[in-house]
Amino acid sequence: MTEVVKYFDRERICFLTATSKTEAFYELSRLVAPAVSRPSAEIYTAVSERESQISTYVGDGIAIPHAKLLGAPESVVAVGISRGGISWDGKDGELTRVVVFIVWNDIDHIQLLSKIARLFARESMVTSLLNANSADEVLSALLPTAVEPAPTIPEHNLSIAGITFRAAMHMAREAELQAVLLYPDPLGTLSFLREEDFSYGSPPLFLITQDLNMYPRYEDYQFGEVVQLPYRGLRRRNLVEMSLIYLLSKSRLKKGDKVLNIFGNDETQELDTISYTDVERDFALFFSLSSTKRPRDLEEAVFSRIIQISGEIAEEGREGKPVGTLFVLGSHEEVLKHTQQLVINPFHGYNAEERNVLDPSLEETIKEFSRIDGAFIIRGDGVIMSAGTYVRTNTAVRKVPYGLGARHTAAAAITAVSDAVAIAISESTRKISIFSDGQRVMVF
């Protein structure tokens, strides 16, 4: 997260006196105005108009209001802390206590939003900010600490982790494997690593984590790749599989690679398991997807983002109940010829940048609309064209496994008549299926 540090300034941190969203916007607009040399009223109007389209409350007491400000010299961030809480959308329940206020004039605003959202999703972040008594203390809570905290885990666990790691590296060298993937989050420390572990001839070591802020001194180690996964709440049984799918979609791994995975148990704080993956053999269906009628306009980041959201929907459901839904990605012009709306399209009328799946503030909206019958139709660059959409084709589907229902049949049908890729979540089994060229090519 060090690349986000430059956006924070103690002069743009305040403890809000606001009791409403409108008042908060006024306060934060005044903080931002000097940095962008624009009137605070202009900033307030831009952010308020954006907010009127789709709420920027992202959950866990955090809101990220933002807007594009033409002519602004750079992206600027302000942070407001509300100890009393603000009712963001006039609904009962959870209050907004941290407001991250962003204006930008660059093409990378979605990447900035993603980085900011990931930083503020750190566990206990809201509590740390509410306990701060000054702007300097807020900055200390936001920025990585200079020294890795001492682990609060038994020395025996660290010893086992070191033995497991060194055994895996020895196996990887002897077998001439292409990579070793290390998932240290069950420990939350890298202190079990030794300098001699990174000997000449060892395969590249990937650090795989869901929160890089746990390892502020990771640069002290010779990692060939550091990957912060966007997935949250993964169970042990699917951690490695989801991670490998993500790495493949990002081209961090390739066909023919053979790797070892080192992971463990969050509950017991142990790093005690080594697994072997032959990428070409174990992910043959992924490469089948890549070699079939994959839409040319589908960006890897969009595919990966929908895989992430699908995993969270399958894991969490909504309000404690399982949810099934369908995402159709790419070739939207051809796809829309075979659809009709079941309900009024909730994304109609919004600017393209306001309805892009890469915008982290849309995540809760997507999850909420996943309860609506029908499919999400998503353009290859991530813009949501519609939700609650009925897929209708006259094409007979083939090779749809027995027992799958209408949602999976629709996924097979729409990919048979177009180059689109479809991702279906089963409400009953919570499994995620990927369809291409009229058939299911992957399930996990």
pLDDT score recorded for residue 95:
86
135 and 8: one domain? yes
Domain presence at residue 149: no
pLDDT score recorded for residue 343:
86
Strand locations in 279-323 (E)? none
Task: Sort 335 into a burial class: Cβ within 10 Å, 0-12 / 13-18 / 19+.
Answer: buried
**What are the 10-residue block averages of pLDDT along the chain, 444 residues in total?**
70 91 93 88 90 79 84 82 86 79 71 72 77 88 57 84 93 93 91 80 86 82 80 62 75 88 87 91 68 71 82 81 92 93 86 82 86 92 93 72 78 91 90 86 79
* Catalytic pick among 66, 109, 332, 408: 66
Give the Cα separation of 197 and 142 in Å (integer).
32
Domain presence at residue 147: no
| Number of domains within the chain | 3
333 and 421: one domain? yes
Type of residue at 426: S
Chosen domain end from 90, 116, 142: 142
pLDDT score recorded for residue 291:
53
163 and 223: one domain? yes
- Paired with 57 in beta bridges are 63
Chosen domain end from 121, 142, 163: 142
pLDDT score recorded for residue 148:
46
pLDDT score recorded for residue 164:
94
30 and 100: one domain? yes
116 and 13: one domain? yes
Read off the DSSP letter of residue 265: E
Cβ-Cβ contacts under 8 Å for 179 (sequence gap 6 or more): 172, 203, 204, 205, 206, 224, 225, 253, 257, 259, 260
Largest CA distance in the chain: 65
pLDDT score recorded for residue 101:
92
132 and 271: one domain? no
**CATH no. for residue 316?**
3.40.1700.10
275 and 317: one domain? no
pLDDT score recorded for residue 398:
63
- Paired with 88 in beta bridges are none
pLDDT score recorded for residue 297:
84
134 and 159: one domain? no
160 and 79: one domain? no
Cβ-Cβ contacts under 8 Å for 233 (sequence gap 6 or more): 312, 315, 316
340 and 309: one domain? yes
pLDDT score recorded for residue 257:
93
Spatial strand order in the sheet of 421-425 = 339-341, 384-391, 375-378, 325-329, 421-425, 432-436, 439-443
pLDDT score recorded for residue 147:
43
248 and 346: one domain? no
Domain presence at residue 287: no
The two three-digit tokens of residue 113, written as one number:
């939003």
Residue whose pair of structure tokens reads 């885990």 in the numeric block: 153
297 and 256: one domain? no
pLDDT score recorded for residue 123:
60
Give the Cα separation of 400 and 12 in Å (integer).
55
Chosen domain end from 260, 282, 304: 282
State which residues form the domain around 360. 293-443
* CB atoms inside a 10 Å sphere around CB 296: 9
**156 flagged as catalytic:** no
